[in-house]
Amino acid sequence: MALESLMAEPYSPLRYPGGKAKLAEFLVAVLRCNRLHQPHYVEPYAGGAGAALRLLFEEYVEGITINDADPRIRCFWQAVTKYNDAFLALIEDVEVTVEEWRQQRMIYEKRDLRRILQLGFATFFLNQERSRRPEITSIKGVPYIVPLILILLVVLTYLLSRTSFGRHVYAVGGNTEAARRAGINVRNVKIACFVFCSTLAAVAGILFASRDNSISPSTGGSTTLLFAVAAAVMAVSTSAWADSEAVAYTLPVAGLTTSVVRPSAESTY
């Protein structure tokens, strides 16, 4: 069988970030080099089992044994193989709503290993396309925030490094009195900076609210405040040694910092 067939649509039902399906071609080469004809393939850390399923369905192996260190992923595969009829019934009956997502999230976080079918389905539910109308708007691929940040990066870098206004901002920030004596309208520069900061804060608020389609009076504290402080610290520290390229260094470094600070519980397969 031609290796080109291994580049077809992935067989795994999970949207898993491991990407091991791309190793299928290498695994086939290993089998051929060792003259192994349709052996039994065992993968202890299967994840989405993309490589294992491809080898099986393309008939390079006679059977597969898959497992995973995450018990929830393991329960998913057990539910699919041992309770496939009940699993298919859940797919047909369970509606994709925000309330249902929260319910499945509770099951996922509780991690009751005695309820293999329920935990396996919760893992599958949280792993799938979460758009309300995926045929119209898909949330797969690059998030909208990525091109928006890139646009802000280019615009703000140009504004601060290639315009007189940007130089005035640096001058006022470096020494207000010296900037005033140099003929810069310090008051107008400060007002403009406040306007820019408020506008960007409003954009950030809109993006934050669109994440959950809701907002609460308590929003703005806790980790959100910590992210703001981290971004401000990154801005001050990078501007000290990057000068006009401060925006170019601040945005990615601050983004990396807040990503590390963000609790890992918010991320789920």
Of 33-42, 170-179, 214-223, minimum mean pLDDT range = 214-223
102 and 148, same domain (yes or no) = no
pLDDT tops 50 at residue 250: yes
The answer to whether position 251 is within a domain reads yes
The answer to whether position 132 is within a domain reads no
The answer to whether position 134 is within a domain reads no
pLDDT tops 60 at residue 135: no
Which is more confidently placed, 231 or 113?
Answer: 113
Q: What is the pLDDT of residues 146-179, one digit of tens each?
A: 788 888 888 888 888 889 998 999 899 889 899 9
pTM above 0.75, yes or no: no
Question: Which range marks the domain in which residue 52 is found?
Answer: 3-66
Burial of residue 194, with CB atoms counted within 10 A of its CB: 0-12 exposed, 13-18 middle, 19 or more buried: exposed
Residue with tokens 């918010």: 266
203 and 151, same domain (yes or no) = yes
Residue with tokens 């309770």: 83
Residue 205: count of CB within 10 angstroms of its CB: 14
The whole-angstrom separation of Cα 204 and Cα 174 is 27
The answer to whether position 122 is within a domain reads yes
Domain count within the chain: 4
Residue 160: count of CB within 10 angstroms of its CB: 20
153 and 205, same domain (yes or no) = yes
Provide the β-strand partners of residue 40. Answer: 63
Of 73-82, 85-94, 130-139, 162-171, minimum mean pLDDT range = 130-139
The whole-angstrom separation of Cα 14 and Cα 183 is 62
Cα-Cα-Cα-Cα dihedral sign, residues 239, 241, 243, 248: negative
76 and 116, same domain (yes or no) = yes
The mean pLDDT of 1-8, rounded to a whole number, is 44
